[in-house]
């Protein structure tokens, strides 16, 4: 798929950006649906056993992102909102929305990495929730079937009042403001959405509508919402693995044509500077891969993996940037030109270190875990 479908159309959709929906991806989505798995390896809504689902997702995402990470994100049914539905949705919600293309809207003009600062509001009016606010940088927000919107029931209650809601894309009151033009992942639509008295049924909330009345219960409630990231951050790390592996393979192919083959057959002091650089990049990639696989394995085995999810996302995000940019530099003008995909891979890699929690936020989360401190104690 990555080599037969993604690579041949990679340049085409990078050039025209989000102006067209890639029709070539529809058969891919249909094929994955027929296999009973979502494009990111998520279990089907009827599959209550997650055995190996996260590991399968990691392997699948890396393979597809070797072809084109933007196209992988554009496959119908592969939205981040799907992960939220599968993580905390009811069986009925999983059955109804798990098979749709669900985006996720968290970021706001005044709330980026600090999800607890969300100001989009949700109030209960009879048998309907009424949502008001503005969301930005919503991946898949233009083409999706539904959006998982994060909103607060009471701004004064902080994290405990943050809930997520399923909003159909054509729901009255939710409108598309704009689609961003970006440096990388150009084919993937990144939208700004406005919610103005947007009414949805009462059962469209993910999880409980209760606001916890104790500090411990509040932490647990917000932790349920944040559980989505423990599942998706390793998959974002896998995006970096695919992009970095693609860049390294292209670089090696170019070098081998010039008689430079980094095959780990020589001792370091007998290797050229270029060979040593390729060895270092390869080692960095392998370290990130092992960390990512561990985080996925823990999730599949029911072990808390919040720390490991942040670790692998931080490591892989930084590694992806460094490897792709170094490959561009190693190949000189050929790497910088559009004769190869190296410059595109470098552009695509940058956002992986930013979305789903920036490099700095991941390091902060890891530090809190290691030191045993709360978000209030370590900011």
Q: Which residues are catalytically annotated?
A: 356
State phi, psi for 90 to the nearest 5 degrees: -75, 165
Retrieve residue 379's tokens. Answer: 């900011």
Residue entry with tokens 């993937």:
188
To 5 degrees, how large is the angle CA 40–CA 24–CA 33?
40
How far is Cα 24 from Cα 289, in angstroms, rounded to an integer?
A: 29
Nearest to 192 by CA among 142, 131, 143, 117: 142
User: Which three-class secondary structure string do you get for the chain?
Assistant: CHHHHHHHHHHHHHHHHHHCCCHHHHHHHHHHHHCCECCCCCECCCCCCCCCHHHHHHHHHHHHHHHCHHHHHCCCCCCHHHHHHHHHCCHHHHHHHCCCCEEEECCECCECCCHHHCCCEEEEECCEEEEEEEEEEEECCCCCCEEEEEEECCHHHHHHHEEEEEEECCCCCEEEEEECCCCCCCCCCEEEEEEEEEEEEHHHEECCCCCCCCHHHHHHHHHHHHHHHHHHHHHHHHHHHHHHHHHHHHHHHHHHHCCCCCCCCCCHHHCCHHHHHHHHHHHHHHHHHHHHHHHHHHHHCCCCCHHHHHHHHHHHHHHHHHHHHHHHHHCHHHHHCCCCCHHHHHHHHHHHCCCCCCHHHHHHHHHHHHHCCCCCCCC
133, with CB counted inside 10 A (0-12, 13-18, 19+), is: buried
């Amino acid at each position: 798929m990555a080599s037969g479908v993604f690579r041949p159309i990679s340049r085409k959709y990078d050039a025209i950006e989000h102006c067209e929906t890639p029709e070539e991806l529809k058969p891919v989505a249909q094929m994955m649906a027929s296999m009973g798995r979502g494009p990111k390896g998520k279990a089907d809504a009827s599959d209550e056993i997650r055995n190996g689902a996260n590991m399968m997702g990691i392997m699948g995402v890396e393979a597809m992102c070797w072809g084109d990470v933007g196209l992988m994100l554009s496959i119908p049914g592969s939205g981040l909102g799907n992960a939220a539905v599968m993580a905390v949705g009811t069986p009925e919600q999983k059955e109804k929305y798990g098979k749709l293309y669900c985006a996720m809207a968290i970021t706001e003009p005044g709330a980026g990495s600090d999800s607890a600062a969300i100001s989009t509001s949700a109030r209960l009016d009879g048998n309907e929730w009424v949502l008001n606010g503005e969301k930005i940088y919503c991946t898949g927000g233009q083409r999706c079937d539904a959006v998982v919107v994060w909103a607060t029931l009471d701004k004064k209650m902080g994290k405990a009042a943050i809930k997520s809601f399923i909003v159909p894309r054509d729901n009255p009151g939710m409108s598309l403001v704009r689609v961003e033009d970006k440096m990388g992942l150009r084919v993937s639509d990144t939208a700004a959405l406005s919610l103005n008295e947007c009414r949805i049924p009462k059962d469209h909330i993910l999880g409980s509508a209760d606001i916890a009345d104790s500090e411990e219960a509040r932490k647990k409630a917000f932790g349920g919402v944040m559980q989505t990231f423990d599942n998706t951050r390793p998959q974002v790390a896998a995006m970096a693995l695919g992009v970095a592996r693609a860049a390294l393979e292209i670089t090696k192919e170019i070098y081998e044509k010039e008689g430079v083959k980094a095959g780990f057959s020589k001792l370091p002091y007998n290797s050229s500077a270029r060979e040593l650089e390729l060895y270092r990049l390869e080692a960095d990639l392998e370290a990130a891969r092992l960390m990512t696989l561990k985080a996925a394995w823990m999730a599949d085995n029911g072990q808390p993996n919040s720390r490991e999810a942040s670790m692998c996302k931080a490591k892989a995000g930084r590694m992806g940037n460094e490897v792709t940019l170094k490959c561009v530099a190693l190949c000189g003008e050929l790497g910088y030109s559009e004769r190869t995909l190296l410059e595109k891979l470098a552009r695509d890699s940058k956002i992986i270190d930013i979305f789903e929690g920036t490099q700095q936020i991941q390091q902060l989360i890891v530090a809190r875990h290691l030191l045993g401190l709360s978000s209030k104690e370590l900011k």
